[in-house]
Amino acid sequence: MGDDNGHTSNDGPTTKRRGFLAATGAAGVASIAGCSSGGGGGETTTPPKDVEPASEINFISESTPPSVAIKGIVDEFQKQTGITVNMTLVPFNNYSEKIASDLTSKSGNYQAFYVDPYVVGAKYYPYIQSLDPFINSDDWADVPKGVNDFIDSHLDACGRYGDGRLRAFPYDCPTMMWVYRDDIINKYKEQAEKDLGFPFEPGPERTWQEYFEMAKWMNENVDEVPYGTGHQAKQHDSLQCDFHNVFWAHGAEDFTGYNGKPGDEVPKSDKITPTFAETGVGAAEFYKNLIDIAHPGSTTWTWSGVGQAFAQGKIAMCPEWHEFNAMFTNPDQSQVADKVSWSLLPQGDKRSANIYGGSGIGINKFASDAEKKAAWKFITWATSPEIQLRILKKTGGTPTRNSVYNMEEVKQAAQASSEESQYPNVVPPVREAWKDSNVGLRPHIPQWPELDKILYTEVSKMINDKKSPKAAMQSIDSSWKQTLQ
C-alpha cells in the first residue's frame, strides 16, 4: 500500500488507500498478444475437463482488511480442498511491483492475485486470465450463487477492462461518502436553518454550495469542533479522489469521446481529448473556495489524516471512504464513536458523485492448467457469500454480493445506527452510492497512473495559490494530451 491506501487497518487506526506507483511506467499494454488453450504460458480459452487442481498455489495482495481476514481462515480452505494457499500480504507499492514483474516476465509465480483496477487491471489485463471460460464450463465448479450476484457497478469497476471480458471477481469496495457528527447537526439544526435558509441536514439533496455554507456556518457558530469540514487534499492520490467527487458532481468530464466506463472498448489514446479546461473550471473554482474554509490541515492530509481528524473531534464532517466507519465507531480509536452518521455526497449541477475505490482478485494467465484450477477454487471461495459474511463480521471489508445484503442479519445491521450496528461497514448507504447515477468511476486506461499524478499535482498547485483554477485545468489538459500521445 505504500504511503497511503485506503482501507482501515486491523492493527490500529491508520487507514490507507491506493497510491500512485511510478515504478510500473507509462507505456500501455493494449498491444500485448497471447491467447492459447494450453497451460503454463497462455490464456485458457477451453478449460480442460480432467485436470486435477494443483496442491499448492501462491496468492499476493495488498495488505487490505479482506486479505488479512482471509489469511486468518485460509487453513479452512486447505482442509476442504487439500490446496495450500501461500499468502503474501504487503504494502501497495510492494504488491504492485511484485505482480507487475511477475506478469511482464510471464513467470506465473503468483497464480492468484489482487487486481487493483488502475495500476494492474487497466494496464496488464491481457496477462490476467479471462474467467468467462471457467464460468461457462460444466466441468469446473460453479460460482456460488452465480456471477450475477455480484453488484453490477463492481463488476464494471474492477472486473472488466479493455476487451470487456471478466478478469477479476469484485473483492473489496471502499467508496467515498459524506460522514458527519449527528450530535452537532441535531443540536444546531434550528438556529442554522434560520440563518442559512435551507435544511441543516446532510443528504444527497444538499448541494455542494450548501455543504460549503454549512461548513462555514459551523466554523463561526459551533463550539464542539474548530472547523466544520476537512479534506484529504495533500498532493497525493487522495486529492485526486476528493476533487473528482466535486468535479463529476458539477457535470465535468475527464474526456470527450470516451466516458471511461469499464468494459467499453478503449479508443486509441491519441483519440481521447481531455476536457478539464472546457468543463471543469467552475468545479475547480468551487473546490478551491471549499479548501480555503476547511481545516488548514487539509492540505497535509490524505484519507488517513482526515479520518484521524474526524475521529479526534477536529472537524464536524468530511468526504471519507466508508470503511473508516469501523474505526469511527470503535471507542478505543475514536472520540466520536456514538455520534457518527453517513450520507451520499452532495450534488452539484449534475448529480451526487461518490468515487469507488474497490479491487478484484484474479488468476495469472501464465499459470499451468492445474494451478489455474486451484486458483479458481480459491477465488470463488474467497468471494463467496459465506466467506464475505465472515469477513464482514471481522470488519474486514464490505460485501460485494447482493445476496449478503439480503441476509436478515445484514439488513438489520444496515438499518441500525453506527453506534449500535454489529457490522459498521454496511451502515453507510453504500448500495445507493453504487447505483449508476451516483457512483464515480475513473477511466480504465493504461496511462492512468501518470494522469493521476498530473491531476493531483496541478490541483495541489491550485489550492496552494500557485495557479488559478483556470490555469490549473489548462495545465491538466495540456499534460494529459502529451501523456496520451
Residues 397 and 345 in one domain: no
pTM of the model: 0.89
Report the CATH number at residue 473.
3.40.190.10
Based on the fold, state whether residues 24 and 57 are members of the same structural domain.
yes
Inside any domain, residue 424 = no
Q: Is residue 381 in a domain?
A: yes
* Residue span of the structural domain in which 313 resides: 176-355+441-484
Burial (Cβ within 10 Å: 0-12, 13-18, ≥19) of residue 350: middle
3-state helix/strand/coil string of 36-53: CCCCCCCCCCCCCCCCCC
Exposure string for 365-375, b = 16+ CB within 10 A, e = fewer: bbbbbbbbbbb
Say whether both 113 and 83 belong to one domain: yes
User: Based on the domain organization, do 315 and 378 belong to the same domain?
Assistant: no
Judge if 44 and 166 occupy the same domain. Answer: yes
Q: How far is CA 82 from the centre of its chain?
A: 33
Per DSSP, the three-state class of 246 is helix
Both 218 and 264 in a single domain? Answer: yes
Inter-residue contact 85 to 77 (CB < 8 Å)? yes
CA 129 to chain centre: 22
pLDDT digit string (tens) for the chain, length 485 residues: 333 444 433 333 333 333 322 223 333 333 333 333 334 558 888 888 889 999 999 999 999 999 999 999 999 999 999 999 999 999 998 999 999 999 999 999 999 999 999 999 999 999 999 999 999 988 788 999 999 999 999 998 999 987 889 999 999 999 999 999 999 999 999 999 999 999 999 999 999 999 999 999 999 999 999 999 999 999 999 999 999 999 999 999 898 866 556 555 666 777 788 999 999 999 999 999 999 999 999 999 999 999 999 999 999 999 999 999 999 999 999 999 999 999 999 999 999 999 999 999 999 999 999 999 999 999 999 999 999 999 999 877 899 999 999 999 999 999 999 999 999 999 999 999 999 999 999 988 889 999 999 999 999 999 999 999 999 999 999 999 999 98
Helix%, strand%, coil% for the chain, nearest 5? 45, 15, 40
